[in-house]
Amino acid sequence: MAASGQQLAIVADKGREEKGFPSSALVAAANAYNNGFTSLESIKGKRIGITQKGSTFHYMLGRMLEQKGMSLDDVELVPLGKVSAVMAALESNQIDGAILNEPNITKMQTAGTAQTIVQVGDIIPYQTSALFFSPEFMKNEDANIRFLKAYNKACHYYYEAAVEKKDPKKLDEVVGIIAKYVKAPAGDIKLGLPYIDRDGKLMADDIKTQIDWYSSHGMMQGTLDPAKVANTTLLEKALAQ
């Protein structure tokens, strides 16, 4: 959005791929897995499903391949539009593998139609979601900081409940709140809870990595200065109070 001229500010974390924390993963269809597609290194020549070109799934696959000395040219990309279509193609073995996220990964593994090969967060750090402020709201720094102070408290509460999972009752409470507002089953929510930084801090360096990657692959219009997109100052001020 920012690359197209919309003046938005990314101010805090709202979800990321983190090492050791299940979220998104490269999975293999049952037939492909049984025939030796059991590691990222064995992906060459495979048909890999994504939702669409330029999507987060496309990005994750590309970056993971690059970390292993490969590129998107080493696989056959199969854009299928929707996650449900990707899952159907895996179930029918029309593709060899795909990038998927929870709770879909667990559902497919339970059904025996796919197997996890590697978690995205174990290969690359990735700021998947973030809190954005509009240009109008950015004009009111006092309101920005007060909002972020409250958001920081929420991040602490969420981290203890959903990441550290110290208290089962608190986890159920958080899951129930999210399920209520996104109108999804609590079981699905529990499987798909994202990692969020305890203080809500952004992986600011990763914003630049993403911009550079999309630009180098011809998927971004114009140029974009990461420093003008990611605003970490407001959260720092909120944390200092």
Q: What is the mean pLDDT of the chain?
A: 94
Residue 187: how many CB atoms within 10 A of its CB? 13
Does residue 35 sit in the same domain as residue 108?
yes
Identify the band that residue 6 occupies on the pLDDT scale cut at 50, 70 and 90: low
**pTM over 0.85, yes/no:** yes
Does residue 102 sit in the same domain as residue 28?
yes
The reply to whether 210 falls in a domain is: no
Does residue 132 sit in the same domain as residue 96?
no
Does residue 132 sit in the same domain as residue 110?
no
Using an 8 Å Cβ cutoff, are 27 and 100 in contact?
yes
Q: What is the pLDDT of residues 212-237, one digit of tens each?
A: 999 999 998 777 888 888 999 999 99
- Could you tell me the residue range of the domain that residue 93 belongs to? 24-122
Q: How far apart are CA 126 and CA 124, in angstroms?
A: 6
Q: What is the pLDDT of residues 64-109, one digit of tens each?
A: 999 999 999 999 999 999 999 999 999 999 999 999 999 999 999 9
The reply to whether 97 falls in a domain is: yes
Contacts of residue 135, defined as CB under 8 A and 6 or more positions apart, other chains included, come to 7, 8, 9
The larger pLDDT score, comparing residue 91 to residue 6, is at 91
Number of domains in the chain: 2
**Residue 88's domain is classified under what CATH number?**
3.40.190.10
Q: Give residue 8's pLDDT.
A: 83
Does residue 108 sit in the same domain as residue 62?
yes
Does residue 147 sit in the same domain as residue 166?
yes
- Reduced to 3 states (helix: H, G, I; strand: E, B; else coil), residue 97 is strand
The reply to whether 110 falls in a domain is: yes
The reply to whether 239 falls in a domain is: no
Using an 8 Å Cβ cutoff, are 93 and 35 in contact?
no
- Reduced to 3 states (helix: H, G, I; strand: E, B; else coil), residue 10 is strand
- Does residue 187 have a pLDDT over 60? yes
